[in-house]
Amino acid sequence: MLLINRWSKEVLEFGDVMTSEEQTVWLFRKRIKDFDRLVEGLGLSVSFLTVSQSDVSVDSGFRWVTAVMGSMRKQFRRRGLAFFYVAALEIQPKRYRRYGVLAPHWHIVIAHSLADALPHGERLKNGHVKKVRDGSVITWDWLRKNVKQKFGMYFCCDAWSRSVEDYLAKYLAKDELLKEFKAKLGRRVRVFASSQLPVEFQMDGLQGLEFKELLSDHPDLAELFWHRERSSIVGRGKEILDRWACDGSVSRVVRYPRVRVIRGDWIAAGVTRNYGHKVS
């Protein structure tokens, strides 16, 4: 499959069809870039949280991560503070091949609007953790009660880099390693998780400029529900339809039709399975 940048005309080749592993890597890297734009645009502070599962169930790990992040988000929202996260599962196929041990590690980047909201620690040479500072919103005690119950180990610290890509990109496996990992498990597995980000930070390059110009020319379109669908930014309206039955009763059906679509910078050449658009 060929991906063509509709502005620069640059071409990327992925083979005949983008595999599910390639899609996972592609979509996650896009989410990391969106997250970096969010941090810079809102001037947020960044913390890193690493958790290691004591249970070997990767599926449970994904559910635990989203549950813990949901609980943490509630603590921030009660104080009127911003909270966003993105998490990647560190895949260790070499360790599994050598020792037969599957010990999933989740690396989580948390962006928030209060600098000392989360605790900060330092990892010592002997592997122990030195607690340098408690958090004003999330404390070490909160992490122990909410994270340790679900994971075997955890560590939290302030960001050493404001670039999320610098921190997380190395943990996302290449498509071949990801394929091998899934084969070992014998099933599909979720390898990253993320908050829903504001749509203005989900746009690539000139896509954001196109969006602003569209709303400037047609202010009424701002009322649409705008969100990302794969590489496109889609504006959906709302329709409520009345359906009359033979007995005279009425049922209402709610639909959210597409009204406007702003294509991404990269589009697929030709029709591909479950991905992209057709280029004429």
pLDDT digits (tens, 9 = 90+) for 203-214: 877 888 899 999
Within a domain: 163: yes
Percentage of residues of the chain with pLDDT beyond 70: 82
pLDDT over threshold 70, residue 18: no
Residue 230, both tokens: 């794969």
Within a domain: 125: yes
Within a domain: 190: yes
The total domain count for the chain is: 2
The DSSP symbol for 234 reads E
Within a domain: 245: yes
Looking at residue 23, its pLDDT comes to 75
The DSSP symbol for 186 reads T
Within a domain: 270: no
pLDDT over threshold 90, residue 103: no
- Residues 169, 181: Cα–Cα separation, whole Å: 17
- 159 and 44 both lie in a single domain: yes
Mean pLDDT of 77-93: 88
- 14 and 100 both lie in a single domain: yes
Residue 244, both tokens: 């009359």
Mean pLDDT of 16-42: 81
Residue 176, both tokens: 């071949």
pLDDT over threshold 80, residue 37: yes
pLDDT over threshold 70, residue 140: yes
pLDDT over threshold 70, residue 62: yes
Using 50, 70 and 90 to split pLDDT, how confident is the model at 273? very low
Domain extent, residue 251, equals 206-264
Helix (H) / strand (E) containing 96: helix 93-99
Using 50, 70 and 90 to split pLDDT, how confident is the model at 30? confident
Residue type, 194: S
Kind of pairing between the strands at 153-158 and 239-244: unpaired
Domain-ending residue, one of 149, 176, 198: 198
Looking at residue 276, its pLDDT comes to 40
- 33 and 165 both lie in a single domain: yes
106 — phi, psi (to 5°)? Answer: -105, 125
User: pLDDT tens across 160-188, in order?
Assistant: 877 787 788 777 665 566 677 677 666 67
- Residues 143, 154: Cα–Cα separation, whole Å: 8
pLDDT over threshold 80, residue 3: no
- 93 and 217 both lie in a single domain: no
- Residues 175, 192: Cα–Cα separation, whole Å: 14
- 112 and 210 both lie in a single domain: no
User: pLDDT tens across 225-244, in order?
Assistant: 998 887 789 999 999 988 88
Looking at residue 280, its pLDDT comes to 36
Using DSSP, state whether 9 is helix, strand or coil.
Answer: coil
Q: How many C-beta atoms lie closer than 10 Å to residue 202's C-beta?
A: 23
Within a domain: 3: no
Kind of pairing between the strands at 192-194 and 232-236: unpaired
- Residues 10, 3: Cα–Cα separation, whole Å: 8
pTM: 0.78
- 67 and 155 both lie in a single domain: yes
Cβ distance 148 to 156 under 8 Å?
no
Mean pLDDT of 62-72: 89
Using DSSP, state whether 105 is helix, strand or coil.
Answer: strand
Cβ distance 263 to 231 under 8 Å?
yes
pLDDT over threshold 80, residue 83: yes
Residue type, 217: D
Within a domain: 68: yes
